[in-house]
Structure 1
Amino acid sequence: MSNQDCFRILEDIARDLSGEVVSFPTFLDITFQVRTALRKPDLTIHHLGTLISAEPLMSTKIIRLANSVAMNPSGKAIVDVNSAISRIGMEAVRSVSFAVAMEQLLNSKKMAPFEALSRRLWEHTMQVAALARVLARRLTQVSPDEAMFAGLVHDIGVFYLLSRAVNFPTLVDDPAELHALLVEWHDSIGHALLAAMGMPEELLVVVQEHEQDRTIDTLKTLGDVLFVANRLANLQHGWRDSLFCVPLDPAKLSQLFDTQALGTLLAESAEDLASLKNALCS
């Protein structure tokens, strides 16, 4: 792929995301419906449940999440959407809407040329989201729901770039160049996309900076949580192709904080992590 082609795809995206009328990918349609509903001050669980029930996949995920060990430690079965929303809270519904939207994109026929990369990206995203929620709940005062949402959208720039790259045959045929484009631009594109969607400034910052090296002694902020969750997930569930980059050195995690204590925490949280990932995946 030529530099001119790289410039064209980035120019197209910049034009879309900086204009007065933003042309969002169709895979975000359901997310916009949920976001619009959640902004209504008089929104009730019944009204939100009616919206969600119109989307079978989302209904299934909402109920599955409500029955997960992490959300429902009592184990009492929840079988309807309204009860599920009551259990997980309205803000968690936003996370599920993004999970559904991104999964639908990756399962679309047009993404077939990127199947292997898409699977890695999806697995990485689910792992980061689950890790972020567990880390936030057990180690910080950060909202677990906010942490899970940040995990789900932290690489939305990669999803978006892939959805546009399919329109550039030379890019489809050049995995090395595609990989370089994704690595270099996904953070900035993700920031711009979320900004155009009206997301909070704090979220924009943590998404753009989630891979910037730093030293962390204790987890305090949403940015800390996302950074550590992403680093941990990259050890076994990274989306980058090992042919085009150097794998993450596990020793680097020792710079963050006591990795032995973290290992114990993750071992104790394994059931929560598995239940959250299963709930968010198909």
Structure 2
Amino acid sequence: MNKLEAYGHIAALAIRGDLVFPTSVNAALRVQLALDDPECPIDEAIRLVLAEPQLAARTVALANSAMFNRTNGPEVTNVRAAIMRIGYHNLFALAAAMVVRQFGSKIADPELRAKAEQLWQHTVHVACLARIIARDVTYTNPDTALFAAIVHEVGNFYLLSRADEFPGLLEDDPENWQPASEEIITREVLKKLNIPEPVSTAIQGMRDSFLQIPPETLLDTLLLANHLSPVASPLQAAPRELPPHSESVIDLFIDEEMMEELLAQAGKDAEAMNATMLV
């Protein structure tokens, strides 16, 4: 089966809803779906988090990180205090990060594992940049931007998780590149994960959309964060370019000092998130 056939086969299975998720993904997904209910009682959220020891440890670690404890408040030592500090939206994003991270956990091929690790680093940097850009530049919801960025490459993580079964699937081969199949796979994975429609639409729009000037939307936030990320996606056919002359006008809404602060803060947050996910 060549690359074109493999993409077509996986896309056909995705359309039928036949998506193969690792057991660890399904466990994290159950937690994520429960937390999606804004009326979920705090005691139920605590029970769900404690039922997944990795999520419990990471929730406490994230609450104590510089990302959510910028005022050097007292260290939290339990899940209840951690959830109260980071909030449901960020707990939901953390569960989503576990889902994304777990896709690469069973990859056997060393080269594919390296791609999965680079894709994770790309995801973390885009997520931390998106959160700050949403807060300080586009004035969209920072929690939504963080979540959207965490899942924006989930289609490619899924492809990596299936690549062991389809040798050559991710080899460079422009003649067999199938963006339509990749779009289908991403769309169906997002649907399977119950990603909210506004987030899903923004993610799917990243392939063909341009950053508007000034940036104002969730899509703009993701495009700008992706452009500024110091780590590129290993599966991106080519870097997503900004519109002509965009580079020269970015300083109209992000001056040099603000850009330095933005990149430095995002870098620190990325280190905190990486440390959290290693717990």
**Distance in 2 between the 1:159 and 1:179 partners?**
22
CA–CA distance in 2 between the matches of 1:178 and 1:167? 21
Alignment of 1:131 onto 2:129:
yes
Distance 1:34 1:178 in 2: 39
Q: Residue 41 of structure 2 aligns with which residue?
A: 44
- 1:269 corresponds to 2:262: yes
Separation in structure 1 between the aligned mates of residue 175 and residue 42 of structure 2, nearest angstrom: 42
Q: Corresponding residue for 2:207?
A: 211
- Determine the structure 1 residue equivalent to 2:223: 227
CA separation of 1:169 and 1:140: change in aligned 2, threshold 3 A: closer
Q: How far off its partner does 1:157 sit?
A: 0.9
Residue of structure 2 aligned with 1:34, choices 22, 31, 35:
31
Aligned CA distance change for structure 1 residues 59 and 67 (closer, same or farther; 3 Å)? same
The whole-number CA distance in structure 1 between the counterparts of 2:190 and 2:235 is 25
- Counterpart-to-counterpart distance in 1, 2:210 and 2:140: 19
> 1:184: Cα distance to partner?
6.7
CA offset digits 1:151-187 (Å, max 9, x no partner): 1111111101111121013437xx3249975877544
- Of the structure 1 ranges 85-94 and 38-47, higher mean CA displacement relative to structure 2 is found in 38-47
What SS does the aligned partner of 1:78 have?
A: coil
Taking a change above 3 Å as real, the CA distance of residues 44 and 143 of structure 1, as seen in their structure-2 partners, is: same
**Equivalent AA in structure 2 for residue 94 of structure 1:** F
The answer to whether the Cα contact below 8 Å between 1:215 and 1:255 also exists between their aligned partners in 2 is no
Change (3 A) 1:109 1:210: closer
Take 1:136 and 1:153, find their aligned partners in 2: how far apart are those partners? Answer: 16
Give the counterpart of 2:84 among 86, 106, 116.
86
**Quick check: 1:137–1:144 contact (8 Å CA) kept in 2?**
yes
Q: What residue is the counterpart of 2:233 in the other structure? A: 239
Extract unaligned runs of 5+ from structure 2.
none
Residue from 187, 198, 205 that aligns with 1:191: 187
RMSD: 3.1
Describe the shift of the 1:220–1:246 C-alpha distance in structure 2 as closer, same or farther (beyond 3 A).
closer
TM-score (norm 1): 0.82
RCO higher in structure (CA 8 A, sep ≥6) = 2
Q: Whole-Å Cα distance in 2 between the matches of residues 87 and 33 of structure 1? A: 22
Q: Percent identity?
A: 26
Q: What residue in structure 2 maps to residue 71 of structure 1? A: 68
Deviation at 1:43, TM superposition (A): 1.8
Residues paired across the two proteins, number? 273
Mark the runs of 5 or more structure 1 residues left unpaired by the alignment.
none
| Bigger helix fraction | 1
What one-letter code is carried by the residue in structure 1 that aligns with 2:257? T
Corresponding position of 2:57: 60
In structure 2, distance between residues paired with 1:68 and 1:263: 27
| Mean CA deviation greater in 177-186 or 194-203 | 177-186
3-state SS, counterpart of residue 204 of structure 1: helix
